[in-house]
Amino acid sequence: MDATLIESAQKGDRQAFSALLEQHYDFVHAVAWRWSGNRADAEDITQDVCVKLGQAIRSFRGTSRFRTWLYTLTLNAVRDHQRKASRERRNAGQFIADPAFAAVAAANDNTAQADALWAAVRSLPEKQCDAVLLVYAEGLNHAAAADVMGCSEGTVSFHVHEARKRLKILLGRETV
């Protein structure tokens, strides 16, 4: 049955692709859960695999069993998710370690602190929020962030500086 569904899905048959997803969804979720150990992460990873499967189904050549190929696709998605989460934690840690937020760091544990900080960042004016997320969440330098934002490196530095001042106020630090 898999071979027929796979062949039809590779040719663009949406019903066959849907049936293939339905047939293997629980398997993908179980693998994602076992490797991530977290239900929410497993759900995110499973959704990523569904999207990746839609993009990669045509590349399945049948040199291995479909389930083996899908297992590899799922493990790659787990690793991608873990790398992304690690990068976000590291970047949040760098932002939190910034001397401007040292008092907040001393007052809260890292998880609650990071959540409060990122919520405050998302409440900033758009350009400031973009600059902070690109520099601290994505790990870009100011020049790369400037390319993404379509402005000068100095403008990115200005937005980050203004965001820091505003975040001090939003997070209950003394006014600047």
For the chain, the structural domain boundaries read: 2-85, 98-170
Q: Do domains 2-85 and 98-170 have the same CATH topology?
A: no
> Could you give the count of Cα atoms lying within 13 Å of 149 in the half-sphere of its Cβ?
27
2-85 is classed in which CATH architecture?
Answer: Orthogonal Bundle (1.10)
Q: Give the closest residue to 90 by CA, choosing from 128, 138, 127, 134.
A: 138
Q: How confident is the model at residue 150 (pLDDT cuts 50, 70, 90)?
A: confident
Amino acid at 155: T
Distance CA 18, CA 25 (A): 10
What pLDDT score was predicted for residue 104? 47
Taking the CB of residue 18, how many other CB atoms lie within 10 A of it?
Answer: 12
CA-based torsion, 19, 21, 27, 30: positive or negative = negative
Distance CA 110, CA 97 (A): 10
What pLDDT score was predicted for residue 111? 67
Distance CA 95, CA 97 (A): 5
What pLDDT score was predicted for residue 50? 94
Distance CA 63, CA 65 (A): 7
Q: The tokens 């004016």 sit on which residue?
A: 125
Answering whether pTM is above 0.75, one says no
Tell me the CATH class for 98-170.
mainly alpha
What pLDDT score was predicted for residue 176? 37
Residue 22 has pLDDT above 90, yes or no: yes
Residue 142, phi-psi category: left (phi > 0), alpha (psi -120 to 50), beta (remainder): alpha
Q: What is the mean pLDDT of residues 162-174?
A: 80
Lowest mean pLDDT segment, chosen from 35-44, 57-66, 133-142? 133-142
